[in-house]
Structure formats: structure tokens, C-alpha cells
Copies of this chain bind each other. A is one copy, B any other.
Amino acid sequence: MNPSETSKPRNSADFFEMLRLRGNALPKRLKQCAEYVAANPAVVAVSTVAELAAGAQVPPSAFMRFCQEMGFSGFSEMQKLFREEYSQNWPDYASRLSKLRNGDAQAPQFLLAEFAEAGRTSIESLTRTIDPDALRRAVAVLAGARTIHLVGLRRTFPVATYLAYAFEKMQIPAILHSGTGNLSSAHLIGQGDALIAISFAPYTPDTIALAESAVKRNADVVVITDLPTSPLARIDAVRFMVPEVDVGAFRSLSATLTLAMTLAVGVGTQRRAL
């Protein structure tokens, strides 16, 4: 470790700042590496030294020297940084969950920190995984509907009620199917209507049934669920998979609500434009 070495970058912003400062002072081959990495940051996360070296047109050993020159112990350490940024380093809540179970004397503010992080992570990854086209289609379908039906039971009931509130506030006709009194409300849904069905594992059968029945009745369906293996994902509909993070046995709803708000307001503005 010679004294000219700068300290290790902690994130990619650090890293690129360092490149900016020291980039021009590097020897030829290392400069090639710097330029290649700057131009293809994402590729670093998913490639081997040999591949990157080939891309930068230098031998692998030169690339290794580059990594060390940037303050890392080697390529692996540098790659770790890019991988974390790239995958957002989804925290390992499974292991925290056991901590939650064992250490029963958890101070509430630690819990708050956990839930806050779960919420942030969920929202962050929502924005990266949502298909803009699906969003557009969902908004179009809902804006064109005569009546919007809403169903979400148990853990997703808050989302359904939020949508009901938002639509009411914008004076868009919407019906919340809550299952009160165990009445079947499937017959309310007809052609020209749309249904937003929300369900996470364990999937409430009533929600699935209502969604299936809506499809049979030629209503448009928008599905919000968690996984492609969900029974709701089998339905012919505009589908959203929301990457909500579990903390212990509880699931953050932040991302789902964010999506719900987006749909509601999107529909509102589109209707007004018509």
C-alpha cells in the first residue's frame, strides 16, 4: 500500500469521483480500464475480470492492477460495490426475523428502524421493477371503466380502502367489495366495469373467486399481487408484482400503497382529460 493510494470508495459515487480526479494521471492501460468501467458500470456487476479486460482491451492482470490502484484489495472487492448498488443489496430479513423472535426485548425504536428500512427498500424496488407500459394500460383500462370495483381482503384490505377513499374524493364511481355480511357481490360487476384485485400470500380465496368471476363477466381486471406463482397471476389481466419486503411475519405495504396512489391519481387525471 503506497501512500499515493486513495482510500477505498464506499459507493459508486465515491468511485466515479475518484476516477474524475485521478483518471488522467493513470498509465495508459489503467486509463483504458477506467474509461471502460465509466462507460459500462452495469457490466462490471455481472462480468468476470477476463471479460472486462477483454472489453477494455487490456490483459487481465492490468485490470487487476487497476482495481488495486483504485483502493480495493482486488477485483472481487470492487465488484461487490457495483453489485450492491445494482441489486440494492436486498437485506436479509430472514435472519433478522429470527432475531425478532428470539430477542423479545426489542426496543421499539429498533423495530421502527427495521420497518422504515423495509418500506424504503420496497418502494425503491417498486420504481425499478414496475413496467411503465403495464401502468399505462392499467390507467387506460380503469379510466375507461363505468364503475371501478375494488377487492382486497385481510392484509391488503387497507390498500382497497385507500383506493376507495381516493376514488370517492375524485368522484369516480367505485365500489369496495368487503364481504361484509358474507353477501356475494360478484353479480354487481358487468361488462364495461373494471376490477382492481389485490392479494398477497396466503391468497384469500374470495379475492381470487371475485377476480375470476369478473373475467367471466367480461370486465377488465387489474391485479396487484406478490409473485408470478400467485393464483391471481393466472388471471387474464393487467398484472403487477409488488416486491414488498417482509419483516418477521409482517409485510410492509408501502410499495403497494404507492402503486395504488399512482393508479388512483393516474385514473383521476386521465378521466378529467376526457
Query: Which B residues lie within 8 Å of A257 (CB)?
Result: 119, 158, 252-254, 257
Check B161 against A165 for contact (C-beta < 8 Å).
no
Assembled-state Cα–Cα distance A23/B241 (Å)? 15
Query: Which B residues lie within 8 Å of A120 (CB)?
Result: 120, 123-124
Given known A-B contacts A46-B86, A165-B154, A254-B254, A38 and B261 have beta carbons under 8 A apart: no
Interface positions, chain A 29-66, Cβ under 8 Å from B, are 31, 34-35, 38-43, 45-47, 54-55, 57
Assembled-state Cα–Cα distance A109/B220 (Å)? 21
For residue A272, which residue of chain B has the nearest CB?
B104
Check A108 against B248 for contact (C-beta < 8 Å).
no
Contact flags A233-266 to B (C-beta < 8 A → 1, else 0): 1100000010100011110111001110111111
Return the contact of A45 from the options B87, B92, B130, B158 (Cβ within 8 A). B87
Check A42 against B86 for contact (C-beta < 8 Å).
yes
Check B94 against A57 for contact (C-beta < 8 Å).
yes
Check B39 against A226 for contact (C-beta < 8 Å).
yes
Decide yes or no whether A136 CB sits under 8 A from chain B: yes
Check A88 against B42 for contact (C-beta < 8 Å).
yes
Given A41-B129, A46-B86, 4 more contacts at CB 8 Å?
A: A19-B229, A38-B228, A39-B226, A115-B261
Could you tell me which A residues sit within 8 Å of B by CB distance?
16-17, 19-20, 23-24, 31, 34-35, 38-43, 45-47, 54-55, 57, 83, 86-88, 90-92, 94, 100, 104-109, 111-113, 115-116, 119-120, 123-130, 132, 135-136, 138-139, 154-155, 157-159, 161-162, 165-166, 169, 180, 226-229, 233-234, 241, 243, 247-250, 252-254, 257-259, 261-266, 269-270, 272-273
